Structures are given as C-alpha cells and as structure tokens.
C-alpha cells in the first residue's frame, strides 16, 4: 500500500517538475529581446536550458513509471505530522509580517518544542524565550540588524 | 499543560513590557534619532563612497547619526523604491546616482526623479574615452572617422546600454560594436587584455591606469577641458557637433521622497549644504577627479529634468529603450 | 613590534568571529566582511584589513564545521565538503572530519598566502588575457562537471542545474538593460538572491527532511578523535599540494572563488586518487582534503587580481575593494608601488589568520560538537529560526524570508524524490556567468563563428581551457564506459 502511494507521489512530483519546465520554456519565448541579434538575444540561454529541463523531466518521469523498487527512506511520504508542521511554519512566516519578529518567533519555537515533545512546557517556554532573546540581541548588537 | 496556562500570562506581560520600551516617547525637534541613508548600490561603488563621505559631515550639523544602508539590485531601483515606501518623516533619505533617469523607458520600474525632492546635487563624474597607448588612434577624431569608414568594426566596452559607458557610446554614434560588461573593472581588463579596442569609463576608475601609462585618453566627455588635466582633449571642443548632449555623466545627489514636512526638508538642506561646503568634502571631490555641483532647489530639479530628457531620448533614439519617452511626458530638449 | 602585536590580536579576533560566522548557516564570509567594512570605517586601514582578513580565512574554514556535522554548508565554499564530510560524521568520525578540514584548510591557506606573496605579478599577466569566450568555456565546464559529482542520476542533476541557471537569469538583463522573466513584478527585478536560496535549499529543506525521516538519532553521531594521524597527513601531502594549487589558480580567476575551486579540486581528487579511504561520496578523507585545502588556498588566489588589477576574485574580495575605497585607496597597478607596506600587511594578516584558525579550530571542535549534540527535536526548531533570521538579515526584508521558505519547500521536495540540490546552487552562480559571456562573445564576434574559432585557435589561454576540458571529459567518459562494461 505504502509503495503504491509513494510511487504515485513520485510520478505526481515528476509531472509537476515537467510542468515547471514547460512553464519556463514558454515564458522564455516571451522574453523581450529588444533589438538584439539572434545569437546574443536574452532568450537564447533560457530557451536552451528550459528545453534541457523538459527533456530531463521527461526522462525522470519515464524512470519513475518504470521503476518498481521503492527506497525505504522515502516510503512514508504522506507523514501527516511533518506536513502539518510545514503548514505551521508557513503560518509563522505569514505571522512575521503582522506580529513583532520576536513574538512570532518565540511562539513558533514554543509550538515546535511542544509539538515534537522535545521539552516539558516550562523548559520549552524558557528555551524558546532564551533562544529568541540571545539570537536577536546578538544579531542586533553585533551585526546591526534592524528588527 | 496546567503549568503552561500559569506561565503564559507572565510571558505575555513580559511581551507588553518589551513592546513598551521600544515605542517612541513624546515629540521633539527633528531629528531626534538616527537617519538612514539608503544607497541603492553595493558597498564600494562610487555612490556608496560618496554617501559614506558626506554622511559623517552632515551628521555634525544634524546632531544625529546618519547610517548608510546598502539596498542594491535592479540597477538601483530596489533601494529607490524602499526609500519611497518609507514614512515621509525625514528619517529615511536616498543617496543615489543618475540611474533614475532611465528606469521608465527601459521598463525597469515606474520610478523617476519626479517621485523625489532634491536636497542637494553634490558632484558629477567625468567619463573619458580610453584606449591602449599603442593604439593607431591619436585623437578622438581619428576614432570617430574610423568607425564611420568601417561601421561595426571597432569594439567598445560598455556596462550595458543604460550604464554611463553605454550612453556615452550612444552619444558618440551607433557605429561601434558595443560589447557589454558587468562593471567598470571588467571594462578596463577588456581594453588592457585587447578584447575590445576602446572604452568609455568614469575617470575615477581609470585614473591610476592612465598615470601608470597603461591606457591613454583620447578625450574627456565634457564640453571643456578639465582644470586638473589641461593636456587631455575635450570631446565638445574637438568635435563641436556633440555639444548638444554635453555635459553628460554620472552625478550624485541626496533625495527625499515627496511629501516630507517643510521644516524637515529645510533642516536636511541646511545640514547637507554645510557638509558639501566642508573643505574635507571639497578635497574628496577634487581627489576623486569629480566636478562639484552644489545644486539645490529649482536648479537641482531643472538639472535632473534636463538630464532625464537627454538620457531617455538618447536611449530611445539609439534603439536600446523599447518605450518612447513621450509615453511618460518626457520632453525632447 | 607593538604594532605587529596589535595586528596579531585584531587578526585573532577576526578569525574567531569568522569561524563562528562561517559555522552559522546563512551567515557567509561575504556578509560578515560587508558588515565589518562599514563598522571599521573609522579605523586605520591596516587594523581594518587585519580583522577583515581574519574573518575571511576563519569563515571559509568555519563553513566546513556544519558541512561535516549537519550536512548544511555554513558557507557556499563548503558545499563540496558535505559530500564526504557528512558521511564521515554519520559513521561516527565527525571529529576527525573537522580535524581534516582544519589541518587541510591550514595547509591550503599557507599555500594560498605563499602564492599571493610570490605570484602576484605573474597571475596578473595570465588573468588579463582571459577573453569572454574563455569565461564561457569555463562556465560550461563547471556546469557539465556538476553532472559528474552529483548524487542521483545525470538527468536529475541536469534538471536541477538547469532550473538553477534559468532562475539565476531572472531579473535585469545586463546586456539589454531590460527585465527578463520577471512577469511584470517589481519584486523579481532584483533577481533571486543567492544567499536566500542557499539558506532555503540547504538549511530549511535539510531540517524538514530530518524531521520527516523521523529518526530518533541525533543530528550528530559519535565524534571520535579529532587529530588526523600524522602518517596519513604526510601521505595526503602531495594531494594537498595539487588541490591547493588548483585552489589558488581558480581563486585567481576573476569572479570564480572558493565554491568552484573546491568543486574542481574535488573532481581532480576523484579522478587521480586510485584507492580512496572510502569511495568518494561515502566518506573519503581525500574528498575533505581536496575541498578544504582548495577553498582556503583560493583566498590567497582571489586577492591577487584584487590587488593588482582592482578586479575581485570572488564576492568577498569585491566587498574588500569597497573597504579599500572607503579608506581612500584604489586597488590597481599603482597600489603596489605607492603603498608596498599595505601588501605586506595583507600577507601577514592572512598568514596570522591561518595559524589562528588552526589553533581555534582544534580547540573549539569539542565545545562546538557539544553544542550541536543536543537531541534533534530540540536542535532543529532553533535551526529553523536561525535560517529565518539569516534570510532576514541580508536586507532586513521579510520578503526574503518568504523566498527562503519557498526555496526550503522546493529543496524538501527535491530531497524526497532524489533530485540533487548542489547542482541547482551552482547553476544559480554559473548561469548568469554563462549567459553573459556567451552573448558577449557573440556580440564581440558579431555572430561570426569563423572569427571566433580563429581567435580560440591562436590564444594559448583558450587552447589550455579547451585542452583541460577535453582531458577531463575524456577521463570521465572512459571511467563511466569502464563502469558500464564492468
């Protein structure tokens, strides 16, 4: 069951890569070349390399369809906890635009420690506050980064 | 979990405390904190050096730190945009070069000098036309004659069509084979290594090579000779037909976004005018082979507008720009 | 004497800071030096240069620490070190991997300083002869080499390399001066920021992948001994000297620095070492030896064109040129005759820094390893936070953080389906170079291939580059041919 799901996942990913390659190939044809000559046109390298991408993506797709074996490390692609965590990470990146940098970061770290059961709650709060305070002070004072 | 509930309010109050500390208190006379000077180019470039020279001198009169921040990319348009997006409170200023003149016709961005108010135009650089000492051309007239006789044979190194050297090459006429390079440093190697025949470069970048006898000057791109170098021919004197485009070259100025309070602009103008009058700055300008400008107010605006007209139409007539300057209401001089 | 002591102390401080900066993923030598350049504005030029040279040497070595221990190159020049350094750490030899990185960086650094000292006038003459077509050939050479060292199939490697190249071309086109592949967006005019991309592709994606693999094992396994055995050090000395020379030569080429130098050196080692301690890519000491000696040797190389021509050998020296100019000095043909003491100062600071990072590196490995031996589920979330800070720090821009997150997800998906990531990063670096030099050549010869071939045929530099490529690919194809038959 897992193998089947992994395989359809791999084929799906390869199709996405092929679409990306085709997107860049089409976009390359629409680059504004101004009055440049054919060989020095800004289009030439993007078109050639996107074409290479399309060929490589097709080869990789064929390979994915043909292959029966599924490597052990990639069996469990649809791990819900990791996907959820990736989702939370994106919420964090979005929150950076709305909340103060330290608040969003501390909240994210606290969530992470509790989510992965790394630390008991009190330690988690101390650790997340500590990490944020130390790194931000360091960066602000030593590297003059303006948060 | 219970512990968590107990600790969270404590954390929250800590947060409120921290936020309270960083918020501004009361209003006082401008400037009450440090001013950020955005340089839309990488550290070490001529605009960056200019900004880092004038900033400490202006600091003395503003009584606040002026911190240079490099926001490079997009030929200077990224940093110029950032200066425009910040609050019109006088705490963000823009130190930039001539590039704002070409963004619109080149389709780089919608920004132009019209989006900013000039504080002061500090100085301008002079481009020179250089070649190897053993070159067959003795004067700039020989060079131009050759390009008319053998169109496309003479290779000239530029920093792309919108760079100083690209526009000077356009001024000289389109019969060159323009070979674009990334930086003035690369241009100089291209000429030294014999990969191109001539180059137009800011004098500052090649002064040492000329002194060392590795390059020779065919002409300075100016309407008259330079006071420091009376032995070099001036393009406008050698070939008067080019005078309508001259002087043309990079210039450096301090700008603020439109809509600043009048007293803020006045304070900035006063401080930067004093800074530009400092002997240290004058010495810097002369040592770096530039010509002082010190234009403010209406004079600065007129210079920038005329410059935009010249540049935009040169780019359009030379075929580099796809959009006509007329689209943006840029008049032909 | 007091002056010398001063220089030594400043260099020591710079080196220590450099190692830490280099070890923190996302803080590169380029960034640290750029910040230092503005901080030391008020200092005298020799003190500023002492700190900067210390940072430069320290950071290039420091990048190898995380490259070995958590498979995240702390700096771009350590990308190749991950290939063998991380497998070594995985089998419990993390300490010795860093030990090798440290001693070899030291030896490479010495060779670099020596080359800088004696080779300056010589290299200047070679570098000036490089025509656009020679740069183009070198870029193609680099991109094709990507296929040979990447894990996974050649097709997948070429896919990620091409994606990197095409993404590297997003932004303002130098030659037409117009935006390219920006889809009308102001955000894209600036192009893809290399450091942001590296943070996402190497930092975030690795953390996500580690979480995904859900192994309860630590990121860092057993450390073991640190000091490499002396007899092995002697045995690898010939290889060290060869790869250091490659590092110096590649570093001296304008625009190509440590990352390409270590790549070339690694390829050289892969081809010439018949019986490596383990197969390359699975924890060969020789891989770490080649990569780390070359990237520190490249520093000396990169400074040569900067001093003699004012042309940066890599990104860091480009920033150092800025430091010179802030202090009213202009690197170029006149610098050596006007201020010869400055050249001696640079050589001396670099030499000091080389010894300092050997000492600090050896002493700091244990504390540093302790720091990263913290259990994975405690260590990984703060690493995510550091990559976020790192991305933000480049321009104080949250948009960059979003970019980093985007590249992190791209990298994560690539990792899941065995698409190698290093080719993509090299593509981002080499793509613009290749595009630019190809079109510059075509403009220069007005599309006339006859003239171009004529120029290549009479230029000793072009012929050497072509010969180098020919020999490399002959050896590569013969090897793969053998592998297929066997």
Q: What is the pLDDT at residue A91?
A: 92
Kindly state the DSSP code that residue C201 receives in the 8-state scheme.
I
Contacts 24+ apart (CB under 8 A), B24-33: B30/B90, B30/B261, B30/B263, B30/B264, B30/B267, B31/B62, B31/B63, B31/B64, B31/B90, B31/B91, B31/B267, B32/B64, B33/B64, B33/B91
Closest to C128 (Cβ–Cβ): which among B70, B107, B192?
B192
B25 — pLDDT class (breaks 50, 70, 90): very low
Reading the block at residue B49, the tokens are 């050096």
CB atoms < 10 A from the CB of C311, how many? 24
Q: Which ranges in C153-284 belong to alpha helices (H)?
A: 154-168, 186-189, 194-198, 205-213, 230-235, 237-252, 258-272
Q: Is the pLDDT of residue C31 over 70?
A: no
What is the average per-residue pLDDT within B236-248?
83
Give the residue numbers spanning the domain of B307. 35-125+249-328
Residues B239 and B276 grouped into a single domain: no
Q: Is the pLDDT of residue C334 over 60?
A: no
Round to whole Å and give the CA distance between C395 and C20.
21
Round to whole Å and give the CA distance between C350 and C110.
9
Residues B322 and B238 grouped into a single domain: no
Chain B residues inside the 8 Å CB shell of C325: 44, 49
Q: Which ranges in B107-183 belong to alpha helices (H)?
A: 140-149, 164-172
User: Distance from CA of residue B301 to its chain's centroid?
Assistant: 15
User: What distance in Å separates residue A63's CA from the closest CA in chain C?
Assistant: 10
User: What distance in Å separates residue A57's CA from the closest CA in chain C?
Assistant: 7
- State the burial class of residue C61 (Cβ atoms within 10 Å of its Cβ: 0-12, 13-18, 19+): buried
Whether residues B1 and A121 touch (CB distance < 8 A) is answered with yes
Q: What is the pLDDT at residue C107?
A: 93
Q: Is-contact B123 B252, C-beta < 8 A?
A: yes
Domain closes at, from B217, B245, B273: B245
Which secondary structure element, helix H or strand E, spans residue B117, and what is its range?
Answer: strand B116-125
Helix (H, G, I), strand (E, B), or coil: what is residue C138?
helix
Closest to C132 (Cβ–Cβ): which among B70, B75, B195?
B195
Query: What does each of the 147 residues of chain A score in pLDDT, given as a tens digit?
Result: 455 556 677 888 889 999 999 999 999 888 877 767 777 788 888 999 999 999 999 988 888 888 766 554 445 555 677 888 889 999 999 998 888 888 999 999 999 888 887 788 888 888 888 888 888 887 777 656 666
Residues B166 and B307 grouped into a single domain: no
Whether residues A34 and B320 touch (CB distance < 8 A) is answered with yes
**C182 in contact with A, Cβ within 8 Å:** no
| Chain C interface disruption, residue of B195, B214, B312, most C CBs within 10 A | B195
Residues B117 and B253 grouped into a single domain: yes
Name beta bridge partners: A27: none
Whether residues C39 and A144 touch (CB distance < 8 A) is answered with yes
Q: Is-contact B98 B311, C-beta < 8 A?
A: yes
Round to whole Å and give the CA distance between C20 and A41.
44
Closest C-chain CA to B192:
C128
Whether residues C166 and A96 touch (CB distance < 8 A) is answered with no
Q: What is the pLDDT at residue C374?
A: 63
Domain closes at, from B190, B225, B245: B245
User: What distance in Å separates residue A124's CA from the closest CA in chain C?
Assistant: 9
Whether residues C325 and B49 touch (CB distance < 8 A) is answered with yes
Round to whole Å and give the CA distance between C138 and A81.
45
Measured in Å, how far apart are chain C's first and last C-alpha atoms?
A: 64
Closest C-chain CA to A38:
C447
Chain B residues inside the 8 Å CB shell of C172: 74-75, 108
Q: Is the pLDDT of residue C340 over 80?
A: no
If you search the block for the tokens 């990237």, which residue do you land on? C295
**A81 in contact with B, Cβ within 8 Å:** no
Give the list of residues 6+ apart from residue A112 with CB closer than 8 angstroms, or none. A85, A118, A128, C380, C381, C384
Closest B-chain CA to A114:
B1
Residues B152 and B257 grouped into a single domain: no
Round to whole Å and give the CA distance between C384 and C331.
40
Q: Is the pLDDT of residue B150 over 90?
A: no
Q: Give the C-alpha distances (Å, rounded to integers) separating B227 from A85, B233, B258, C301, C422.
A: 68, 12, 37, 40, 54
More confident residue, A77 or C37: C37
Is residue B254 domain-resident?
yes
The string of pLDDT tens digits covering residues C443-452 is 888 878 888 8
Q: Is the pLDDT of residue C217 over 50?
A: no
Total domains in the fold of chain B: 2
Is residue B9 domain-resident?
no
Whether residues C382 and A118 touch (CB distance < 8 A) is answered with no
Q: Is-contact C74 C62, C-beta < 8 A?
A: yes
Q: Is-contact C465 C167, C-beta < 8 A?
A: no
Q: What is the pLDDT at residue C392?
A: 81
Residues B58 and B194 grouped into a single domain: no
Q: Is-contact C353 C58, C-beta < 8 A?
A: yes
The string of pLDDT tens digits covering residues C114-152 is 999 887 766 666 667 778 888 788 778 777 766 665 566
User: What distance in Å separates residue B1's CA from the closest CA in chain A?
Assistant: 7
User: What distance in Å separates residue C430's CA from the closest CA in chain B?
Assistant: 14
Whether residues A14 and C417 touch (CB distance < 8 A) is answered with yes
If you search the block for the tokens 């007293």, which residue do you land on? B263
Q: What is the pLDDT at residue A22?
A: 92
Q: Which range, B74-78, C34-38, C375-379, is most confident?
A: B74-78
Residues B171 and B276 grouped into a single domain: no
C421 — pLDDT class (breaks 50, 70, 90): confident
More confident residue, B214 or C305: B214
User: What distance in Å separates residue A1's CA from the closest CA in chain C?
Assistant: 18
Q: What is the pLDDT at residue C218?
A: 42
Chains sharing 3 or more CB pairs under 8 A with chain A = B, C
**Rg, C-alpha atoms of chain B:** 23
Round to whole Å and give the CA distance between C295 and C289.
10
Q: Is the pLDDT of residue B225 over 80?
A: yes
Q: What is the pLDDT at residue C367?
A: 74
Q: What percent of chain B has pLDDT over 70?
A: 90
Closest B-chain CA to C326:
B49
What is the average per-residue pLDDT within C172-180?
80
Give this complex's ipTM: 0.88
Q: Is the dihedral of CA C258, C263, C264, C269 positive or negative?
A: positive
Is residue B71 domain-resident?
yes
Helix (H, G, I), strand (E, B), or coil: what is residue C214?
coil
Kindly state the DSSP code that residue C221 receives in the 8-state scheme.
-
What is the average per-residue pLDDT within C362-388?
73
Closest A-chain CA to C413:
A13
Whether residues C442 and A49 touch (CB distance < 8 A) is answered with no
The string of pLDDT tens digits covering residues B180-189 is 887 777 788 7
Q: Give the C-alpha distances (Å, rounded to integers) separating C358 from B199, B200, C19, C137, C289.
A: 46, 47, 11, 36, 15
- Reference B101, options B333, B250, B312, B329; nearest CA is B312
Round to whole Å and give the CA distance between C94 and C87.
9
Q: Is-contact B167 B248, C-beta < 8 A?
A: yes
User: What distance in Å separates residue A74's CA from the closest CA in chain B?
Assistant: 34
Give the list of residues 6+ apart from residue A9 with CB closer than 8 angstroms, or none. A77, A78
Name beta bridge partners: B251: B124
Q: Is the pLDDT of residue C1 over 50?
A: yes
Chain C residues inside the 8 Å CB shell of B201: none
If you search the block for the tokens 């006429």, which residue do you land on? B173
Q: Is the pLDDT of residue C368 over 70?
A: no
**C450 in contact with A, Cβ within 8 Å:** no
**Element counts in chain C: helices (H) and strands (E):** 22, 2
Chain C residues inside the 8 Å CB shell of A46: 166, 169, 180-181, 435
More confident residue, C306 or B216: B216
Q: What is the pLDDT at residue C282?
A: 83
Residues B271 and B195 grouped into a single domain: no
Q: What is the pLDDT at residue A144?
A: 61
C258 — pLDDT class (breaks 50, 70, 90): confident
User: Residue B205 is part of a domain; what is its CATH number?
Assistant: 3.40.190.10
Chain C residues inside the 8 Å CB shell of A10: 417
Whether residues C388 and A119 touch (CB distance < 8 A) is answered with no
| Chain A interface disruption, residue of B7, B37, B162, most A CBs within 10 A | B7
Round to whole Å and give the CA distance between A36 and C357.
50
Whether residues C434 and A45 touch (CB distance < 8 A) is answered with yes
What is the average per-residue pLDDT within C47-69?
86
Residues B64 and B174 grouped into a single domain: no
Q: Is-contact B241 B223, C-beta < 8 A?
A: no
Listing DSSP states for A59-95 in one string gives HHHHHHHH-----GGGS-TT-HHHHHHHHHHHHHHHH
Closest B-chain CA to C36:
B43
Residues B231 and B264 grouped into a single domain: no
Round to whole Å and give the CA distance between A47 and C351.
47
What is the pTM (predicted TM-score) of this model? 0.74
Is residue B28 domain-resident?
no
What is the average per-residue pLDDT within C202-217?
70
Encode burial over C153-190: b for 16+ CB neighbours within 10 A, e otherwise: bebbbbbbbbbbbbbbbbbbbbbbbbbbbbeeebebbb
The string of pLDDT tens digits covering residues C375-387 is 667 777 887 887 7
Q: What is the pLDDT at residue B254?
A: 92
Round to whole Å and give the CA distance between B152 and C363.
63
Omega before B31 cis (within 30°)?
Answer: yes
Q: Is-contact C278 C86, C-beta < 8 A?
A: no
Chain C (44-103) residues lying within 8 Å, Cβ to Cβ, of chain B:
none
Q: What region, left, alpha or beta, does residue B289 occupy, with left being phi > 0 and alpha being psi -120 to 50 degrees?
A: left
Whether residues C35 and A46 touch (CB distance < 8 A) is answered with no
Q: What percent of chain C has pLDDT over 90?
A: 9
**Element counts in chain B: helices (H) and strands (E):** 12, 11
The bridge status of strand B251-257 relative to strand B116-125 is antiparallel
The bridge status of strand B66-70 relative to strand B35-39 is parallel
Residues B254 and B118 grouped into a single domain: yes
If you search the block for the tokens 């933000």, which residue do you land on? C392
Whether residues B7 and A103 touch (CB distance < 8 A) is answered with no
Residues B192 and B51 grouped into a single domain: no
- State the burial class of residue C129 (Cβ atoms within 10 Å of its Cβ: 0-12, 13-18, 19+): middle
What is the average per-residue pLDDT within B81-91?
86
Closest C-chain CA to B106:
C178
């Amino acid at each position: 069951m897992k193998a089947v799901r992994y395989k359809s996942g791999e084929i799906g990913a390869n199709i996405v890569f092929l679409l990306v390659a085709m997107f860049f190939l089409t976009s390359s044809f629409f680059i504004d070349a101004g009055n440049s000559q054919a060989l020095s046109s800004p289009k030439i390298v993007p078109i050639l390399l996107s074409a290479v991408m399309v060929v490589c993506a097709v080869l990789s797709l064929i390979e994915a369809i043909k292959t029966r074996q599924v490597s052990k490390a990639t069996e469990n692609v649809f791990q819900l906890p990791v996907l959820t965590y990736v989702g939370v990470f994106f919420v964090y990146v979005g929150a950076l635009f709305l909340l103060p940098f330290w608040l969003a970061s501390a909240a994210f770290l606290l969530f992470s420690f509790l989510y992965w059961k790394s630390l008991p709650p009190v330690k988690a709060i101390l650790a997340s506050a500590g990490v944020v305070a130390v790194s931000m002070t360091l960066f602000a004072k030593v590297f003059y980064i303006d948060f | 979990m219970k512990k968590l509930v107990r600790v969270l309010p404590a954390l929250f109050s800590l947060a409120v405390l921290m936020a309270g500390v960083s918020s501004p208190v009361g209003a006082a006379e401008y400037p009450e904190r440090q001013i950020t000077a955005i340089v839309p180019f990488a550290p070490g470039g001529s605009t960056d050096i200019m900004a880092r020279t004038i900033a400490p001198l202006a600091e003395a009169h503003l009584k606040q730190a002026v911190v240079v921040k490099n926001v490079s990319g997009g030929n200077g348009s990224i940093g110029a945009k950032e200066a425009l997006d910040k609050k019109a409170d006088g705490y963000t200023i823009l130190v930039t070069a001539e590039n704002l003149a070409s963004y619109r016709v080149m389709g780089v961005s919608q920004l132009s000098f019209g989006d900013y108010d000039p504080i002061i135009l500090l100085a301008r650089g002079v481009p020179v036309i250089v070649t190897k000492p053993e070159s067959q051309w003795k004067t700039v007239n020989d060079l131009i004659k050759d390009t008319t006789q053998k169109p496309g044979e003479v290779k000239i190194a530029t920093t792309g069509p919108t760079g100083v050297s690209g526009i000077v090459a356009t001024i000289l006429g389109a019969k060159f084979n323009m070979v674009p390079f990334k930086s003035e440093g690369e241009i100089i190697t291209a000429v030294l290594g014999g990969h191109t025949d001539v180059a137009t470069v800011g004098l500052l970048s090649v002064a040492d090579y000329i002194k060392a006898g590795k390059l020779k000057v065919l002409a300075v791109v100016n309407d008259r000779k330079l006071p420091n170098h009376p032995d070099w021919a001036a393009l406008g004197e050698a070939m008067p037909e080019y005078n309508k485009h001259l002087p043309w070259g990079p210039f450096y100025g301090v700008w603020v976004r439109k809509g600043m309070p009048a007293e803020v602009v006045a304070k900035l103008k006063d401080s930067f005018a004093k800074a530009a009058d400092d002997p240290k700055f004058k010495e810097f300008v002369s040592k770096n082979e530039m010509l002082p400008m010190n234009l403010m107010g209406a004079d600065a605006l007129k210079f920038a507008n005329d410059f935009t007209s010249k540049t935009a139409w040169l780019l359009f007539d030379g075929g580099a720009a796809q959009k006509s300057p007329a689209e943006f209401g840029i008049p032909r001089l | 004497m007091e002056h010398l002591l001063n220089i030594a102390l400043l260099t020591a401080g710079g080196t220590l800071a450099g190692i830490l900066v280099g070890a923190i993923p996302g803080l590169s030598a380029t960034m640290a030096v750029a910040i230092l350049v503005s901080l030391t504005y008020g200092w005298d030029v020799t003190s500023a240069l002492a700190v900067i040279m210390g940072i430069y040497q320290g950071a290039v070595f420091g990048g190898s620490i995380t490259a070995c221990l958590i498979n995240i190159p702390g700096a771009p020049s350590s990308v190749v070190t991950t290939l063998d350094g991380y497998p070594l750490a995985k089998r419990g030899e993390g300490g010795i991997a860093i030990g090798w990185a440290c001693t070899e960086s030291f030896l490479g650094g010495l060779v670099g300083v020596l080359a800088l000292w004696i080779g300056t006038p010589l290299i200047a003459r070679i570098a000036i002869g490089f025509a656009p077509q020679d740069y183009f050939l070198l870029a193609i050479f680099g991109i094709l080499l990507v296929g040979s060292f990447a894990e996974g199939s050649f097709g997948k490697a070429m896919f990620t390399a091409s994606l990197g190249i095409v993404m590297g071309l997003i932004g303002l086109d130098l030659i037409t001066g117009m935006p390219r592949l920006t889809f009308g967006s102001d955000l894209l005019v600036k192009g893809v920021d290399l450091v942001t991309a590296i943070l996402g592709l190497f930092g975030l994606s690795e953390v996500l992948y580690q979480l995904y693999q859900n192994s309860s094992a630590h990121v860092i396994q057993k450390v073991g001994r640190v000091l490499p055995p002396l007899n092995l050090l002697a045995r690898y000395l010939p290889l060290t000297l060869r790869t250091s020379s490659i590092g110096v030569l590649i570093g001296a080429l304008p625009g190509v620095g440590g990352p390409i130098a270590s790549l070339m050196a690694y390829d050289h080692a892969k081809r010439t070492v018949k019986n490596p301690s383990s197969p390359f890519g699975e924890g060969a000491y020789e891989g770490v030896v080649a990569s780390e000696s070359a990237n520190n040797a490249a520093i000396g190389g990169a400074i040569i064109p900067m001093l003699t021509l004012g042309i940066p050998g890599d990104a860091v020296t480009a920033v150092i040129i800025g430091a010179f100019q802030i202090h009213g000095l202009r690197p170029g043909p006149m610098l050596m005759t006007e201020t010869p003491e400055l050249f001696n100062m640079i050589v001396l600071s670099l030499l000091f820094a080389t010894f300092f990072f050997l000492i600090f590196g050896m002493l700091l490995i244990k504390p540093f390893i302790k720091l990263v031996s913290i259990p994975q589920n405690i260590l990984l979330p703060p690493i995510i936070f550091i990559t976020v800070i790192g991305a933000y720090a480049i321009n104080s821009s949250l948009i960059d953080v979003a970019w980093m997150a985007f590249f992190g997800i791209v990298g994560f998906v690539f990792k899941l389906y065995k698409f190698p990531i290093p080719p993509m990063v090299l593509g981002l670096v080499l793509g613009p170079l290749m595009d630019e030099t190809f079109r510059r050549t075509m403009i220069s010869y007005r599309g006339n291939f006859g003239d171009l071939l004529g120029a290549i045929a009479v230029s000793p530099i072009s012929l050497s580059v072509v010969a180098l490529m020919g020999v490399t690919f002959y050896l590569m194809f013969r090897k793969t041919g053998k592998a297929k038959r066997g």
